[in-house]
Chains A and B, each alone.
Chain A
Amino acid sequence: MVSKKALVAGMGCVCACGNTVEEAFQGALNGNARFELPKTRVDSTYTSKYPVFLVDPAVCEQKPSEQTFSQFFFIRAALEAFEQAGLSPDQLDSKRVGVIVGSSVHPSFHCFEIYKRWKKGPLTSTDIAGLKNYLATPLAQWVSNYFGFTGPFQTVVTACASGTDAIGLAKNWIETELCDVVLCGGTDELTESPYDGFIRLMVATEQRCRPFCKTRTGINIGEGAAALLLVSSQLAEKMCLPCQGYVLGYGNCCDGFHPTAPDPKGTGLQKALSFALQESGKTAADMAFVNAHGTASQANDSAESIAFKAVLPQVPVWGSKSVTGHTLGAAGAIEAVLTLQALNKRVLPPTIGFTTPDEQLQIVPVTRQTSISKQVAVSDSLAFGGCNAAIVLGGRDAA
């Protein structure tokens, strides 16, 4: 029995299909997204071949010079979440406020340009400042400091499952009364390392990705951030905060199968989905849809389809990476925001790019805008190393 429910009081998002939650959802509905060759963003010989999903340059131009794109995107999303909640961070001074941010690129040693210059000669004062900034700013702690919070913080680096894990752990922080409020989500930016890395692993494609399609050819990298302001339901009631939805369940399970591929049987994912459903007190029959990880890689879509057939039979499937790209550590958070938006708008966007059913998968995702009435959905993420995570989300009428 859950003593405290984790209520979503506000959400924020910036990604290739929109600069706000509302814009991103409209982008998901109509398939509009900024999908282009990243010639001005990364230094790679592949930039004339492999397109990516990029955040609006007009937004990027607003980035303060002392911040990384990952920091900037997350703060932008967090400010939108506070605005949606009708709160300013200083109104939470007397509350236990935690921060959990998932990211893949930022917490790694993301100093490639500095590394290149170091190989050629002495570092400049700008390079030293860059290194100092890296050392001084573990991501979640930096976010906590930015808003003046003093509670616990955690930077989750479970690769592409980081965003989902961050939201799931934040839910747990609320339910176990570690915090009254948790600012959570995920953020990642386009850099040379993952851009080249996914191409060299031969899982990236020169075309726009087509989740679950028989003709799918691989993934597209993306960038962006999403933030959710989770509040205990009691506090939300006391402070008269709006409700955008709920985080009802969280499951996580490691395959331990292969460095970059999931267990082909989707065993770990099935366990993660089952645990999340069990914790939420819901069944597959209650689900309006599942927002799939759906990277459009052969291995991912195959493992996911097996897990869905086993744990979520008959549940409609939506793949959203053909409008956001694979935003790595931000993916789970962006997809959670889009999922909540779909539940609240009562419409499921199409899986853009899907044309041909794959008889091997036996899954046909939703391909046109579809009305939904149920108020609960599930979103899952799969990561390198076989880390699988799933969260069950409820719309604002799910209580």
Chain B
Amino acid sequence: MLPKLFINGFSCLTGDATPEDFTSFVELRKLRRAEQISKNVLLCAFRALEQAQLQDPSRVNLGISLAMGAGALGSTLKFMESIVQDGDELSSPTAFASSVHNSTALFLSMFLGIHGPCVVTGQLDASFAGALLTAQQFLAKHMCEQVLVAITEDVNPLLAEVLQKDPHIFDPFVYQSHLPPTRLAGAFVVSAVPTAATQFVLDSISLATTTDMCTQSHPLLPIHSCAHSAQLLADCLQKKEPFSLREQFAGAIFETEGKPYVLA
């Protein structure tokens, strides 16, 4: 049977992490080659793990369930650009390696010393819901004791430019052009049993398809953001009240219910 998910720490970020944000967590020079989307999610992970009282994650059996809506877009486009500009014989192998979804998972694993199970989910809006389901499965099957559910989303400059010229071009997908495209990231530390750091409990999680293709408007990014669901959940948690979250995407519905956890 599926366990409830106890949330032991969480953090979300709109926009980009700055060097100053990392001063209490890591030497900055170690981050100099990192992609921005990796730095964003690393910062969220540091904060969430700190809340979860897991300052040294390598000492616990921790898994990673990473959600990336459209993957490492910056590196993907950089690799495409290197082929277009320089020809395929001079294209960037580094950009290719970084364009793979796993590159961000590796970054988290290396920096945090996490060597448990690791799965990456990539399905646009529904990625975060998929990552939560995976975390639940890791815990149900005792593959690890806690899971870092991480989310990071890049801006797609191609889609941003197309949409800024015509916000209705992908109808019925909705784009709110008055808000600039922004990167988003988030991290949640979850377990199947409460810990001393547990703040909330998710009683249920579901992700299902529907024939309804209407979408809610996603105000933060061009078109899609897997991190948007994470931000909605974080907003619910911030209120410290019982909540019922229902988000509908194009053809899919993500639902979860939860409440603050009080140590008995």
For A42, the closest partner residue in chain B by CB is B88
Q: How far is the CB of B174 from chain A (nearest CB, A)?
A: 12
Given the known A-B contacts A139-B123, A254-B116, A386-B106, are A154 and B133 also in contact in the complex, defined by CB atoms under 8 Å?
Answer: yes
Alpha-carbon distance A200/B161, docked complex (angstroms): 30
A135 touches B223 (CB 8 A): yes
Alpha-carbon distance A372/B130, docked complex (angstroms): 39
B250 within 8 A of A: yes
Residues of A within 8 A of B236 (CB): none
Q: How many chain A residues touch the partner (CB < 8 A)?
A: 76
B156 touches A385 (CB 8 A): no
Interface segment, one of B24-32, B47-55, B92-100, B177-185: B92-100
A253 touches B88 (CB 8 A): no
A387 touches B251 (CB 8 A): no
Given the known A-B contacts A259-B97, A385-B100, are A154 and B113 also in contact in the complex, defined by CB atoms under 8 Å?
Answer: no
Chain B contact residues: helix, strand, loop or mixed: mixed
A255 within 8 A of B: yes
Q: How far is the CB of A157 from chain B (nearest CB, A)?
A: 4
Residues A175-231 near B (CB distance < 8 A): 175-178, 192-194, 196-202
B70 within 8 A of A: yes
Q: How far is the CB of A107 from chain B (nearest CB, A)?
A: 4
Residues of B within 8 A of A298 (CB): none
Question: What sequence of 0s and 1s flags, for each residue 147-163 of chain A, a beta carbon within 8 Å of any chain B beta carbon?
Answer: 00111111111110000
Interface segment, one of A108-116, A305-313, A334-342, A350-358: A108-116
Residues A92-109 near B (CB distance < 8 A): 104, 107-109
Alpha-carbon distance A251/B115, docked complex (angstroms): 13
Residues of B within 8 A of A165 (CB): 119
Residues of A within 8 A of B120 (CB): 156-159, 387
Residues A250-298 near B (CB distance < 8 A): 250-260, 267-268, 271, 275, 279
Alpha-carbon distance A238/B232, docked complex (angstroms): 42
A144 touches B209 (CB 8 A): yes
B234 within 8 A of A: no
B124 within 8 A of A: yes
Q: How far is the CB of B59 from chain A (nearest CB, A)?
A: 15
Query: Which of B73, B103, B140, B252 lies in contact with A109, CB distance below 8 A?
Result: B73
Alpha-carbon distance A213/B53, docked complex (angstroms): 48
For A118, the closest partner residue in chain B by CB is B158
Given the known A-B contacts A119-B84, A275-B143, are A154 and B114 also in contact in the complex, defined by CB atoms under 8 Å?
Answer: no
Alpha-carbon distance A153/B206, docked complex (angstroms): 10
Query: Which of A109, A123, A259, A271 lies in contact with B162, CB distance below 8 A?
Result: A123
B123 touches A140 (CB 8 A): yes
A132 touches B170 (CB 8 A): yes
B261 within 8 A of A: no
Given the known A-B contacts A153-B252, A196-B96, A254-B64, are A386 and B123 also in contact in the complex, defined by CB atoms under 8 Å?
Answer: no
B251 touches A256 (CB 8 A): no
Residues B237-252 near A (CB distance < 8 A): 250-252
Residues of A within 8 A of B113 (CB): 256
Q: How far is the CB of A32 from chain B (nearest CB, A)?
A: 30
Residues of B within 8 A of A123 (CB): 162
For A97, the closest partner residue in chain B by CB is B209
A383 within 8 A of B: yes
Residues B63-104 near A (CB distance < 8 A): 64, 68, 70-71, 73, 76-77, 79-81, 83-84, 87-89, 91-93, 96-103
Residues of A within 8 A of B77 (CB): 109, 115
B219 within 8 A of A: no
Nearest 9 Cβ contacts at the A-B interface? A256-B109, A385-B102, A197-B96, A138-B123, A385-B106, A157-B122, A254-B118, A252-B117, A200-B93
Q: A251-B117, A385-B102 are known contacts; what are 6 more A-B pairs with Cβ within 8 Å?
A: A46-B88, A135-B159, A154-B134, A154-B207, A169-B134, A193-B99
A-to-B contact residues, CB < 8 Å: 44-46, 104, 107-109, 111-112, 114-116, 118-119, 123, 128, 131-132, 135-136, 138-141, 144-145, 149-159, 165, 169, 172-173, 175-178, 192-194, 196-202, 250-260, 267-268, 271, 275, 279, 383-387
B-to-A contact residues, CB < 8 Å: 1-2, 64, 68, 70-71, 73, 76-77, 79-81, 83-84, 87-89, 91-93, 96-103, 105-106, 109-110, 113-126, 130, 133-134, 137, 140-141, 143, 156, 158-159, 161-162, 169-170, 173, 206-210, 213, 223-224, 250-252
Q: Can you offer 14 A-B residue contacts whose CB atoms are under 8 A?
A: A104-B100, A107-B70, A107-B123, A144-B209, A145-B209, A153-B126, A157-B101, A176-B2, A200-B88, A201-B96, A251-B143, A256-B114, A385-B109, A386-B106
